[in-house]
Copies of this chain bind each other. A is one copy, B any other.
Amino acid sequence: MKQLLQHCGILVAQEQGFRFLEDAFLGIDGDTIDYIGTERPQEVYDREKDLSGRLLLPGLINCHGHSPMVLLRGVGSALPLQEWLFEKMMPIEDRLTAEDIQAGNNLALLEMIATGTTSYSDMYFEPHTAAENAIACGIKANLSRPVQCFNKEETYEENFRVKESLQLFRDYHGAAEGRVRIDFAIHAEYTCFEHIVRPYSAACKELGGRMQVHISETKKEHDECVEKYGKTPARWFYDLGTFDSPTAAAHCVFVTEEDMALLLEKGVSVIHNPTSNMKLGSGFAPIQRMLDLGLNVTLGTDGAASNNNLNLMEELHLAAVLHNGYHRDPTILKPAQLLTMATRNGAKLQGREDTGALEVGKKADIIALDMTKPHLYPNLDPMALVVYSAQGADVVMTMVDGRILYENGEFLTLDADRILHEAKAAVKRLYG
């Protein structure tokens, strides 16, 4: 099927940043963009859709999260971190069944799709449920079963998380025409041991996988690692071969200059999670420095228990203003850099070089913003509007591989009523 989106604004990819087309046309052949221009294409399209007053952007890519934690949204707000984690989060997570997790992931999908996310990376247990949900609804997902080890005597072969991770890779990697990818994941240095990390990293490399880890999210984590091993978490992973596969490092709040050099050397992508880093009191990741060094910096929401949303438009906005304040400099992190972080850089992190930008030949992963809202007027600088003014609720169309998943408040591939019903049942089971 060939479809033509017409009379819309378009933020077209160019080598550096974006070029704005007004009253333009975007043609799609199957799952791929085959035309962009301000002239109506000569070719015939099977379907035409008038998008006057809309602005087309590449779909947003949420590179870090724990989607089923929407079921823990708002629990233990404003508690000290350790109390929040050990007394609130973990006891509830211990009660989660696969059914709860599937219900939570579906609830998360509603929120992400409605706010413009077309592809997301997720780290949680029972991830086959997220894989099935993604296959069913058409979103792109890089899913992982994070490896942890709390018993030093346990061997690599005995670790059930490693087994689950490898099984998941066999079962789902490349499913749904590649929309579902399975990544490898090590939760963090402080929740694992070298004798697990080394062979698991080797397995990732051998199987051609991608890796995701948490690195230096808190000062405590960073400092205790240095104390324990005489090296930072980034160096620890580097030395264990983890970065020998394409790796995504979430948070990186307390990375040193040497750490950043290691990440750069190995092409490790960084995931900035500004709301989570603020809300949990972690701190300010040196994002401008990372960009200056040439690191591939992306955006993530983290889980809804520490955000408390899965709305990447909100992360885009927060990242856009936060670092100005911290560095007392309004000139850093330019709008085009930020939108690139949320789109093209995310695609690179996920190993999806065929998406993340509106250009001919890329996959039709597209969102439309309603630019007729009073808060998006006047439209003197579309890029500034997207980054500083637009809201998740301004998304009126979310398309993945040429298929519309969400339009004008309606979910076309998800049964929102059923999902809310199932989420309510899960919440009832969890909290009584």
A21 close to B (CB within 8 Å): no
Chain B residues within 8 Å of A310, by CB: 375
* A111–B281 CB distance below 8 A: no
- Chain B's nearest CB lies how many Å from the CB of A302? 12
Question: Does B111 contact A77, Cβ atoms closer than 8 Å?
Answer: no
A71 to B377, CA, bound (A): 8
A227 at the interface (CB under 8 A from B): no
Residues on the B chain within 8 Å of A340, using CB: none
CA A324 – CA B282 in complex, angstroms?
Answer: 8
Given A308-B384, A330-B80, A331-B80, A378:B71 Cβ within 8 A: yes
CB of A311 within 8 A of CB of B78, answer no
A377 touching B107 by the CB < 8 A rule?
Answer: yes
A388 with B279: CB separation less than 8 A: yes
Inter-subunit contact B280/A84 (CB<8 Å): no
* Contact A284–B325 (Cβ < 8 Å): yes
Are B374 and A416 in contact (CB-based, < 8 A)?
yes
Least CB distance, A382 to chain B, in whole angstroms = 8
Question: Would you call A114 an interface residue if the criterion is a C-beta within 8 Å of the partner chain's C-beta atoms?
Answer: yes
Q: How far is the CA of A385 from the CA of B388 in the complex (A)?
A: 23
Interface segment among A41-49, A177-185, A389-397: the answer is: A389-397
Q: Specify the chain B residue showing the minimal Cβ separation from A328.
A: B281
Within 8 A of B (CB), among A72-113: 73-75, 77-81, 84, 107, 110-111
Taken together as a complex, chains A and B put the C-alpha atoms of A392 and B327 apart, in Å, by 28
B-contact bits for A368-405, CB 8 A (1 contact / 0 none): 00001011011111011101110111100000000000
Contacts of A314 in B (CB 8 A): 317
Give the chain B neighbours of A348 by CB distance below 8 A.
none
Contact B279 A335 (CB under 8 A): no
CA distance A400 to B278 in the complex (A): 34
Is there an interface contact between B280 and A381, defined as CB atoms closer than 8 Å? no
Tell whether, in the assembled complex, residue A279 and residue B378 are in contact, meaning their CB atoms are under 8 Å apart: no
CB neighbours (8 Å) of A383 from chain B are: 77
A431 adjacent to B380 (CB under 8 Å)? yes
Is A321 engaged at the interface, CB distance under 8 Å to the other chain? yes
- A280-302 at interface with B (beta carbon < 8 Å): 280-284
Report Cα–Cα, A79/B304, bound state, in Å.
Answer: 34
A406, B181: Cα distance in complex, Å: 45
In angstroms, Cα B110 to Cα A374, docked, is 6
Task: Determine whether the beta carbon of B374 is less than 8 Å from that of A114.
Answer: yes
* Cβ–Cβ < 8 Å partners of A324 in chain B: 278-281
- Is the C-beta of A420 less than 8 angstroms from some C-beta in chain B? yes
Q: Does A75 contact B330, Cβ atoms closer than 8 Å? A: no
> Considering only CB atoms, which chain B residue lies closest to A75 in the complex?
B380
Q: In the bound complex, do residue A84 and residue B281 qualify as a contact, i.e. CB atoms below 8 Å apart? A: no
